[in-house]
């Protein structure tokens, strides 16, 4: 893993929100994996370490209007999401960042009403460029869809991308290791939460 300069590095948490990984998740299997694997706790530890080291933190949240205006309906995933008992409605508890992650005063929360990516079609790229960010650390869920989208979009936009392998997950659990090994490792630097915590501790 390369040395990460806190001044030009940002940490992105992806869909670490109550309605996805919280106790009242619309996706209970994914939420259980996020908690039981320790992934959610590791993301929280990375956020805390980033705050202490002066690394900018962004939280990417997926939500939709109650009337669904502007939301995609061109894939089975989107249509199924609209029928779930827990919906990621704007302003609801479901779209709040989930505990134990603590949102800091300088953190940026970027919300999207459409699509699969936390980066494409959102404010993330413009915010990162305005902040002088060159390296993006990607964490969260899920390794099935949103995490690969975030990594590929960031790479296509010219960022160096780092993925702590134990701070992302999806379902089934074994799939995460496969997508990291066969896809993400080809375009991003793969590391661990412990390695990042050690590096950021020395940067304080």
Over residues 32-84, the pLDDT tens digits come to 999 999 999 999 999 999 999 999 999 999 999 988 888 777 777 777 666 76
For the chain, state the CA radius of gyration.
Answer: 16
Q: How many CB atoms lie within 10 A of CB 84?
A: 12
Instruction: Tell me: pLDDT of 1 over 80.
Output: no
Q: Which of 27, 171, 191, 12 lies closest to 101 in space, CA to CA?
A: 12
Over residues 107-136, the pLDDT tens digits come to 999 999 998 999 999 999 999 999 999 999
User: Is residue 107 within 8 Å of 50, Cβ to Cβ?
Assistant: no
Judged by DSSP in three states, 94 sits in: helix
- To the nearest 10°, the Cα dihedral for 35, 36, 39, 45? 70
Q: pTM for the full model?
A: 0.95
Which alpha helices (DSSP H) does 37-172 contain, by range?
A: 39-53, 76-81, 124-130, 146-156
Over residues 16-33, the pLDDT tens digits come to 999 999 988 888 999 999
């Amino acid at each position: 893993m390369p040395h990460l300069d806190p001044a030009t590095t940002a940490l992105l948490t992806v869909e670490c929100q109550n309605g996805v990984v919280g106790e009242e998740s619309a996706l209970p299997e994914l939420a259980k994996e996020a908690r039981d694997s320790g992934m959610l706790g590791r993301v929280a530890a990375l956020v805390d370490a980033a705050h202490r080291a002066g690394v900018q933190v962004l939280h990417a949240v997926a939500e939709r209007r109650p009337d669904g205006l502007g939301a995609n309906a061109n894939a089975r995933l989107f249509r199924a999401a609209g029928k779930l008992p827990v919906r990621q409605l704007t302003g609801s508890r479901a779209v709040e960042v989930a505990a134990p992650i603590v949102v800091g005063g300088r953190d940026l929360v970027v919300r999207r009403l459409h699509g699969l990516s936390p980066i494409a079609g959102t404010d993330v790229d413009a915010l990162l460029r305005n902040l002088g960010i060159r390296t993006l650390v990607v964490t969260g869920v899920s390794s099935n869809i949103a995490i690969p989208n975030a990594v590929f979009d960031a790479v296509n936009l010219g960022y160096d991308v780092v993925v702590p392998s134990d701070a992302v997950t999806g379902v089934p659990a074994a799939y995460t290791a496969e997508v990291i090994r066969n896809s993400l490792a080809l375009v991003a630097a793969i590391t661990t939460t412990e390695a990042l915590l050690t590096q950021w501790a020395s940067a304080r």
